Copies of this chain bind each other. A is one copy, B any other.
Amino acid sequence: MRKMKGVVITGKNTLAISDQCPIPEEPCPTGAFIRPLIWSPCTSDAHLCATGCASLPYLIGKAVGHEMCGEITKVGAEVHDFKVGDRVIVCSVMPMWRSLEAQDGMAKQRQDNLYGGVDFPDRGGSFVEESYIRDADMNLAPIPQGITLEQAVMVPDMMCTAFEGVRQLGIEFGASVAVLGIGPVGLMAVRAAVLHGAGNVFAIGSRKPCFTVAKEYGATHTVDYHAPDYLEDIVEANGGLVDGVILCGGSGKELGKGLSILKKGGTLVNLSAYFSGAPIEIDPSVWGFGYGDKTIKGVGCRGGRLWMSRMAQLIVTGRVQPEKLITHRYHGMDKIPEAMGLFLNHDRNLIKPVIYNDSI
């Protein structure tokens, strides 16, 4: 193992630049090394940091991060579709395609990767000088011509998660959707809902920059959850309970709020992670006493080259403008802790930061 520079969580709310992040000497035959060109920290990185990796303690001291695009620096002998110098989107989750889970349609739900975003739980994430991926042909996607790095780095998690959530929601044309929580994934879910043919789309949040993007992405209603009766207001504006709910943030209590405005027979897709250990509580009355045909799905990010390429295609064709999410830009790995600090300090102007690698 060689050692390299990377950003690691050292404790509650603390990060550091380490030079002890390991990487093998050579990639495996199907693997590749990638030099990052652009990174983006995720809310879940911040959650891990804020809790000092309480729920996933083995990540302490290992590289953090899972949203990155870069340039290939080396490929194994069995890599057929990529070569050194190719610019690529790197999968944030690392599906195992040669697995029984994959044969069951759930390549993403591999058993050896609880956090996601990490091909090597023992080594950590992608905020490193050089990143190693085990299955290049399957889990990298070329950055198509005409797409910027800022657009491309919104693919691995923001688009791949939000669009998978809406896919599993399965909205009918013209149906109504409420997106509870409009951070970057929630905003992308607004866009995905519009691109799945929704009619009314309620974007529920509290910060002005998010409302602005929600409108640009096609939300028909923006709703401030500080308003005393905002849930009743949604139902009234919609002319009835909504057909689908996407939950992107909050504690376990929001799940019940989502169910309370969901029609019988509808689906709620959860895109939040619950790392605090507190139980999720559901009042039976908002769940139709258990027999109201309300479905609750806890959906994880979908990965793989095909899905990432399809996301990229939505950018190429102009259907999605992911760069609208980016509110902060930095240069150099050393600025990653500052960018992470935006989340930790609850900056009200933040949607999504990116960090360019200085060396490009």
Which A positions have Cβ atoms within 8 angstroms of B? 29-30, 55, 97-98, 100-109, 111, 114, 116, 135, 137-138, 163, 167, 172-175, 192, 194-197, 199-200, 218, 220, 252, 263-265, 270-285, 287-301, 304-307, 309-314, 316-317, 319
Contact = CB atoms under 8 A, between A and B. Distances in A.
Nearest to A314: B174
A277 B282 contact: no
A119 to B, nearest CB: 15
Contact of A265 (B101, B137, B200): B101
Contacts of A263: 109
Given A108-B293, A273-B291, 19 more contacts: A97-B97, A97-B98, A109-B292, A111-B264, A173-B192, A192-B197, A199-B313, A199-B314, A218-B319, A252-B284, A274-B284, A274-B287, A274-B289, A274-B290, A279-B284, A280-B281, A280-B282, A280-B290, A295-B295
A98 B200 contact: no
B287 A291 contact: no
Contacts of A280: 281-284, 287, 290
A143 B298 CA distance: 35
A272 B109 CA distance: 28
27 contacts: A30-B98, A97-B102, A98-B98, A98-B135, A98-B137, A100-B306, A101-B264, A103-B107, A103-B307, A109-B288, A167-B173, A174-B310, A174-B312, A194-B195, A195-B195, A195-B196, A196-B196, A196-B197, A220-B317, A272-B290, A274-B290, A279-B284, A280-B283, A281-B281, A281-B282, A291-B300, A292-B298
B299 A296 contact: no
Given A101-B265, A109-B265, A281 B279 contact: yes
Contacts of A114: 289
A103 B138 contact: yes
Find the residue from A135, A196, A290 having the highest chain B CB count within 10 A: A290
B314 A104 contact: no
A200 B313 contact: yes
A317 B200 contact: yes
A59 to B, nearest CB: 14
A254 to B, nearest CB: 11
Contact of A288 (B167, B293, B300): B300
A56 to B, nearest CB: 9
A172 B313 contact: no
A316 to B, nearest CB: 7
A297 B287 contact: no
A319 B98 contact: no
Given A104-B306, A195-B197, A314-B197, A291 B284 contact: no
A111 B292 CA distance: 10
A311 to B, nearest CB: 6
Contact of A297 (B30, B103, B275, B293): B293
Contacts of A305: 100, 103
A300 B306 contact: no
Contacts of A199: 310, 313-314, 316-317, 319
Closest 3 CB pairs of A and B: A174-B310, A199-B313, A274-B284
